[in-house]
Copies of this chain bind each other. A is one copy, B any other.
Amino acid sequence: MGEILKVGVIGTGMIGQDHIRRLTKVLSGVAVVAVNDIDPKRAAAAAPAGAKVFDSADALIADANVEAVIICSWGPAHEAQLLAAIAAEKPVFCEKPMTTSEAAALKVIDAEVAFGRRLVQVGFMRRFDADYRRLKAVIDGGTLGTPLMYHSAHRNASVPAGLYTSDMPLNDTLVHDADISRFLLSDEVSGVEVRLPRRSSQGVDLRDPTFVLLHMASGALVDVEISVNIGYGYDIRGEVSCEQGVARLPERPATLVRDAHGVRQAIPEDWRERFIEAYDQEFREWIVAAKTGTATGPSTWDGYAATLVADAALRAVESGAFEPVRMRDKPAIYN
């Protein structure tokens, strides 16, 4: 491949448009040469100068000018698009959820393993956030000893009433906490429990907050608070308790003001503000790997794990019991 990676973007909704902006205005070494959407008008509107608009995702993937693919379509479409990209032997970035069923995830893994090396990066952007990376570096540094517990809090200011359902804290939100727990602890989830605390009056007809326990394969225990209507901002907290010390995500940098409200510091409004740099970095690293015909960062294995954890969490809501997570053997290309 040349100095500039030529990519095709499938799906030009909100997140697809944001990635097109990022690829054309922020990042270097990359050009968007093709776009596709189920709504052709939306695709045409989102296409940057010089990009070709394709009628179908398959045609985009197959086009010789497209060197790598970015999938931002809706979840149920991912399986076929990922399989097509792997068949075309093209590096591919796929937004969450990688797939919407365990069976689909396994098919993608099988295809990638058959190809023989990684081609897919899944969109868990937190792994590219500087705060999480520093936290992992402290854990891996080993001076605090083995990690035994991880406390995670995931708080949204609000979610759209009506559109946001009670499964979404588990399907859309918990998957981030599960993935970052696996990342930070270098561990797998072996089972899930869910407890439903007193319900907030802020979210009409919504099960909120949600409290989740992730049992890790090493025995480490992760607890997760998910609050999606807490009003004050978008607030992501994490603290790991190790044998000889604990380590915690810092407050976000913000001017310390001393005024009639006391000593205070602003909190991000939403995930865009909180993770904007992580999204940029996510694609910087994807571009570098894609230019060499492979992928790094979160893999199909991680997407598969997220699917299993979300499934187990939904079962755990119903059963009230411990729901095991049983993963297949890990193929060597994911080590």
Contact = CB atoms under 8 A, between A and B. Distances in A.
Interface of A: 24-30, 130-131, 134-135, 137-138, 143-146, 148-149, 151, 153, 155, 195, 197-202, 209, 211, 213, 215-216, 218-221, 223, 225, 227, 229-233, 235, 241, 243-267
B255 A247 contact: yes
Given A25-B28, A233-B262, 7 more contacts: A146-B201, A148-B197, A195-B215, A198-B218, A198-B220, A198-B221, A264-B264
Contacts of A216: 198
A57 to B, nearest CB: 26
From A137, A221, A252, A264, name the one whose CB has the most chain B CB atoms within 10 angstroms. Answer: A264
A231 B259 CA distance: 8
Contacts of A248: 255-258
B243 A259 contact: no
A256 B263 CA distance: 10
Nearest to A248: B256
10 A-B pairs closest in CB distance: A198-B219, A264-B264, A245-B259, A197-B221, A28-B28, A248-B256, A231-B244, A250-B253, A262-B266, A262-B264
Contact of A263 (B198, B227, B265): B265
Contact of A256 (B27, B199, B249): B249
B245 A232 contact: yes
Contact of A244 (B24, B144, B195, B230): B230
A221 B195 contact: yes
Contacts of A143: 259
From A134, A209, A243, name the one whose CB has the most chain B CB atoms within 10 angstroms. Answer: A243
Nearest to A244: B231
Question: What number of copies of this chain does the assembly contain?
Answer: 4
Contact of A264 (B28, B30, B201, B265): B265
B261 A261 contact: yes
Nearest to A202: B243
5 contacts: A28-B29, A135-B255, A144-B257, A151-B153, A249-B256
A247 B256 contact: yes
Contacts of A255: 131, 134-135, 137-138, 247-250
B218 A195 contact: no
A15 B267 CA distance: 35
Contacts of A244: 202, 230-232, 259-260
A148 to B, nearest CB: 5
A245 B138 CA distance: 23
A250 B265 contact: yes
A16 to B, nearest CB: 19
Contacts of A145: 200-202
Contacts of A135: 255
B148 A198 contact: yes
Contacts of A243: 200-202, 229-231
A215 to B, nearest CB: 8
B253 A252 contact: yes
A120 to B, nearest CB: 25
From A198, A223, A227, name the one whose CB has the most chain B CB atoms within 10 angstroms. Answer: A198
A264 to B, nearest CB: 3
